[in-house]
Structure formats: C-alpha cells, structure tokens
Structure 1
C-alpha cells in the first residue's frame, strides 16, 4: 500500500511540473519517447568526437563534452519550454567546424570554440529580445510545411545512408547499395519490424525495431560484441577541451565571414528544425506560430554557449527528436529522460556503442515518412506557394543542408509573389530574409 501511495505521489509531482495529464500523456509514454529519441541520436556521442578529433581535439575529452552539451541543452529545453526536444552537437556544423574552419582556414580549434561561444552569447541576446521568435513565427505557412516535409526527406536520406541503401558513386554521386546484405539486411529487418508494429499500433514500435535490428545484427556480424558492460569515464581527459576556448582572436577581421557563417547556419538550422518538429507535435497555433518560441530558441542558445565552454561544436535542436514525438512524447519529461540516459551512457559506453547505425536507420526512415505526410495541407493549385515549398523540401536532402533548403525557399517565395501581383501576401520579414539569403549565397557560400 505504501509503495502504491509513493508511486501516485511521484506521478502527481511530475504531473505538476510537466503538465502530463494536460498534454494527454503519462510517465511511461514519456519514458518510451525519451528512450527512443536517445536510441536514434546516441550515434552522436561517437561520431562527434571522431569528427572533432580530426581538428586536433582529444577524442575522450570531446566524448565527455558532447554528452555534457546534450544534458545542458536538453534540460534547458525541457524546463524552459516543456517541449520534448533534445539537443546535441549538430551534424554538419561539426564538420564545418573541423574541416572548413580549423583544417581548411587554419584556425586553431580553441579559437573556433571561442567563435561558437560568441555566437551563443549573441543568440541569447537575440532570443531575449524576441528577434529570433519573430523570425520563426514570421515564416509563411507553406514554407513551414515545406520545411517540415524537407526535414522528413532529409531524415530518410540519412537513414538510407546509415542502412547503406545508398552509397557514393563517382558518376552519379549516389547509387543503390544493397537491400539484403550486411548493414542493409539489418536495416531491412528493423524496417519490417517497425512497419508491422506500426500497422498493429503497438506503442514503442520504433524502439522495438531498433532493439530487434540490433539483436539480429549479431548474425551477419554488423552488431559488435562488447568487451565490457561498464566502463568508467576518464574525467581527466575532459580537461583537454574543458574551458579551452580562445576569445583573443575571434574579433579578427578575417574571421568575420566565419562568425557570420556559424550564425546563419545555426540560426536557420534551428528555426527550421523547431518548426518541423513543432508541426509534427501539433504545437503550432491556428496562425502557424510556435508558442514559447523565444524560450525554445533561448534553450538552444544556452546549449551552444555551454557546449563551447565544455569543449564541443555548436549544440542545436536535433531532428531525431521527431522519433520521440512520434512515440507520443509531448512534454519536457521526455527530454529529462533523454538527458538521464545520456548521463548513464558515460558509464555504459560499451553497451551504447554496440547499437549499429544500421539498427537506428529504420527509425529515421519511418519518422521521415511521418513528417512528409503534411504536404497534403498545401494548396497544390497555388504555384506561388507550392514551388517555394517544394524547392525547400528537395533542396534539404539534395544539398544535405536544412539551412540551404530554407534559404532557397525564402529567395523564391517573395519573388513569385511580387511578379504575380500578390506582393501584399508577403511581409517585411520575407523581404529582409530575401536580401539576407541573397547576400549569404553571394558572399558566404
């Protein structure tokens, strides 16, 4: 009797903090959502250190810094907004950091971290002043749908890469890889499991698909056999990157373009991801605006600033959060579970590392399918709306960039409205962003 009473009190405590009943969810659903999100994005704690190591940063230190950034950013999002979105070092942004800035331009990685820290401070100021909120809410509804669907296609493409359904080809850039061997076979098994369970409306379908594919992966040797279960983190290694940022050179005139590039890419990657995830979760109001957008963007900025101090590249809202949303995650409790699981992964690195990317690929593909379903809400008879939305959708996976897809949409949208005599359907923000993205393509590409 005492245990049941304690459980009820704990549920009430969490309900008071995260408004679970108001959001038609419960602790179990939020846990499954958090675990699913964790499973689909756990790869970042290995991939990010690998990328930043190429820039001269110690792998073990970046491993700890990556997890610290995830915990800070995700908890900030959970408690500031009560949204089920997780944050981590952004893919693409970490590659830009390592290969373009540090290796390509010869900028020391300590200075690059200083640039990211400055970017985070600027974003905190913009978020507090509501400028970033106005930006997110000022996006036309057709482009919001295009952004959401484009992110869905982008996620599918990433899933196809992880599954090795598509591979590099010198003649055609990409080509069909396999469907029934190696990683592709593991992904196919997971995809079938997910499809069957979804058709049967089984709760936790994505999670079961990931676990099932991981277990099956032992047969073809895709899933590695861990040599240990628990491995204590070497906290001393964190000192190699913790608080190592260098602010002395970030105001060098030659680095202005780098700072602006980080600003643009992070700003519109974040805005696009938030819009896409929020539409999937049903958070957008009747006008297509995101409530608490300024808080969500502030959480993102806090993650970026803290991440730079911890020793990792730009922390941003993760599109893989869509997998948890699809599993029913509706509150910040999902993010709390995500943060807790990543903290535990510090001590269970061998177990976390045994889940192959091929096993998480089906989750990404299924989520991508779900996110593209909203294209039916577009007015397909209005070409001034359809063409920008469609170009936004396809540019994201084809250019492998969320921000580039958004940029193309905002360049084309006002022009079509202007030359068809419908300029009154645009707003000042549309034209400001038109100019910004033209300058972006001309000077920063």
Structure 2
C-alpha cells in the first residue's frame, strides 16, 4: 500500500529509509515548537496556545505536502518571518497581534491566488539555471551559518559582526565530534549516519552538557486563546498593507527557493523543473492560511528538510513521518525538548557542505551568469535572509544582462521579479 501511495520503488527507496529520513528531518527542526512560542510570546501572544498551533500547523502542512505532493519536504512556522511578525509589525509598528495574523491570512490568500493561476510555477520555470545553482549554494551557506551558530562555534561580535565562539565549551566540542562522526559514517556508507550523529551528541549532552531529563509525556494546553483570533478588518487598513506585501514577497521566495534547493538536492528536479510543483506550492499556500487561523506566523517549507533528503528521504512518506512526530509533540514535548540545538548542528553543517558542491556547475567564464549566482549565494547568509539573497541575485542578473546588451536572453518573468524586488527595496525597504 505504501509503495503504491508514495511510489517508493520508482524513487529507489524503501519504508525504513523514509522513516529514518523523517526522524532525521524532525530532529533538526523540532526546535521550532519551543522557539516560535518564545518569539511570538514577546508580541503578547499566549505562549501555550502558540505551542499547540505550531505543532498542529507543522503536522498539517507537512502531511499535505507528503500525501498530496509526495515530496520529502517538511513545513513549519518560518524563522525570520516570526521575528518580523513580533518585533517589526507588533512591537515596532504598534499593531495588535490579531491584526498581524490578519496580514498573514491576506498574504496567504494572495499565495493561493498566484498558485492557482500558475504564476508561482511560471516563476520557478523562468529561473535561469545559474540562479538555481546560486539558490542551492546560498541555502547551503545559510544552513552552515545556522549550524555554526547553534553549536556556539560562531557568535556575534559588535566590531567584526561575527567571530569564533568559546571552542573549549562542551557544546562546541560535542558538535565538532558529532560532525566528524557523521562524515566518517557517511563515507563508510553506514545507513542512518546523520541520525546516529544526532543521537550520539544528545546522549553525550546528558553527561557533559548539563542536559536534564524532564520526563516524556505532558498534556497539551488549550488553543482557544489564539484560535480564529485574526483581525482581517484591521489588516486591511492602509498602514498594514505594506506588511502584507512584505509577508507575501518573503514567503514567496523563501518557500520557493527552499523547495527548489531541497528538490535539487534530492534529485527531484527534472531538466530544472519540479514535477508536481503546483501541488507542493498549494500545500505551502494552504499551510499559511491554516497557521493564521490556528494562531501563528507564516508557515513555510523548511531548509532542514535537506538533512532528511541526505539520509535517503525521497518521497512523501518522509514528510508524513515528520507530520506524525509533530502531532506526537503535543503530548511528548519534554522528550522532544531533550535534543539540544547543538546536537542537530553537526547534521545541518554536513548537509550544508554537500550543497556547496553545486558551485562546480556554474559557468564562471560568463560573468553575467556567474556573478548573479555568486551574489545570490553570498546574499543569503550575509543578510540572514533567503528572500533578500534571491532579491539581490535577480536584480543583479537583470541589470548585467541589460548593461551588456544581452537583454533578449532574459525571460519576461525575470524582468518582473527584478522589478518587484527593486520596488520592494526602494519603497518598502528590506
């Protein structure tokens, strides 16, 4: 039955591999059920209800992605988008969190419309090959920065922006050891190498990292305080329409870029195109609407899905496994919380290193292709934003083709995207 539903043999995988891949992806992104309530709680939202909403929308969006689109890609409220929601829209601009949820809902409606009209798939199909490579490499570099930050190997510095952290700290040492173990096991073709590395560091954290055991089960809180509390009328006011635009653009290219990058890593891009793309994009769009109703910021495809892909995940069974584990988190939050972020950092860093291999596919002899790809790749980690990196890359691509008399090589959709990003940066800001 599973083979017929997910086409396991056609994708050269099996049930065990998919389950391990799902568990691997889940462990690398389970932090969101604790981080998201903390961030949105700063905006005045009830943390307990946001916790429940986060678990449910992650399970729902990921299940639809797996069952409807048959992709091994997980979804959850996006980091960065939740910070913009809390600190920029609610705290910075003074809007209520109910109005901000309304803005998320409206951006989700726009998402559904452009997806149903085929505009999102047209955008993806119109992305030049060099830019696709740049997006994948940029995602890898962005993932590496997240991993090194979670491990405490890279920390903030007011003078130099970043610097090396305390490399004598147990977290950094255990993360480094976990990374070497994962690479070695993968080279020796040990199945589940990434998962073994995560579990190993988690076990070590109880002995050397001060990690504590808080049990397994707990009853889920009520979701009533955030359920259907979005204020669409307030979101339609003139002052917040710019917020809707920002949500929409960031969601559009953050999710699309992640979908393409992970699909490319999984070998699911056929001649540069994603089969079943519209189904994946509809799953993504629907999850945004569901999240706003449940009571959380924008839901998006997760870059951490690449860790499950590296563990062998190729079908929706991987996503369905992640969805089931997120639902279980409603009752086993203490157990899920026992995995520290520095335990999953080695897995993310390993995947990031592998994604950099695509740099070799860029035609470095043609600077109108290679420079935009490089700008895209560098822009993501240095702005800490997938969408901003893509914006800089598209603008650079269009400008260089125009200035070198090669405008006819550019597809119309690229001109439109570059113009939209230029408008957003000039009028709305980054």
Query: Match for residue 7 of structure 1?
Result: none
Deviates more, 1:26-35 or 1:415-424: 415-424
Equivalent residues, number: 429
Deviation string 1:129-171 (CA, Å, 9 cap, x unpaired) is 1111101111111000000000000000000000011111111
Rounded Cα–Cα distance in structure 2 between residues aligned with 1:121 and 1:309: 12
Q: Any stretches of 5+ residues in structure 1 without a counterpart?
A: 1-12
Query: Match for residue 247 of structure 1?
Result: 232
The Cα of 1:301 is off from its aligned counterpart by 0.5
Rounded Cα–Cα distance in structure 2 between residues aligned with 1:40 and 1:430: 33
Query: Match for residue 123 of structure 1?
Result: 111
Query: Match for residue 121 of structure 2?
Result: 133
Instruction: Give the counterpart of 1:211 among 199, 206, 229.
Output: 199
| 1:433 equivalent in alignment to 2:417 | yes
Instruction: Give the counterpart of 1:306 among 290, 315, 319.
Output: 290
Q: Say if 2:262 and 2:306, in contact at 8 Å, map to a contact too.
A: yes
Query: Match for residue 8 of structure 1?
Result: none
The Cα of 1:212 is off from its aligned counterpart by 0.2
Rounded Cα–Cα distance in structure 1 between residues aligned with 2:87 and 2:422: 25
What are the within-5 Å matches in structure 2 for residues 271-420 of structure 1? 271-286=256-271, 288-420=272-404
Instruction: Give the counterpart of 2:408 among 416, 424, 435.
Output: 424
Query: Match for residue 9 of structure 1?
Result: none
Deviates more, 1:376-385 or 1:419-428: 419-428
Instruction: Give the counterpart of 2:150 among 148, 153, 162.
Output: 162
Rounded Cα–Cα distance in structure 1 between residues aligned with 2:368 and 2:387: 21
Rounded Cα–Cα distance in structure 1 between residues aligned with 2:124 and 2:64: 19
Query: Match for residue 246 of structure 2?
Result: 261
The Cα of 1:285 is off from its aligned counterpart by 1.6
Q: Say if 2:217 and 2:331, in contact at 8 Å, map to a contact too.
A: yes
Q: Say if 1:179 and 1:188, in contact at 8 Å, map to a contact too.
A: no
Q: Where in structure 1 do 4 or more consecutive aligned residues deviate above 4 Å?
A: none
| 1:232 equivalent in alignment to 2:219 | yes
**TM-score, scaled relative to structure 2:** 0.98
Rounded Cα–Cα distance in structure 2 between residues aligned with 1:77 and 1:192: 32
3-state SS of the aligned residue for 2:274? coil
Query: Match for residue 6 of structure 1?
Result: none
Q: Say if 1:33 and 1:324, in contact at 8 Å, map to a contact too.
A: yes
Q: Say if 2:171 and 2:209, in contact at 8 Å, map to a contact too.
A: no
Q: Any stretches of 5+ residues in structure 2 without a counterpart?
A: none
Query: Match for residue 16 of structure 2?
Result: 28
Instruction: Give the counterpart of 1:108 among 92, 96, 109.
Output: 96
Rounded Cα–Cα distance in structure 1 between residues aligned with 2:81 and 2:100: 12
3-state SS of the aligned residue for 1:219? helix
Rounded Cα–Cα distance in structure 2 between residues aligned with 1:76 and 1:322: 18
The Cα of 1:225 is off from its aligned counterpart by 1.4
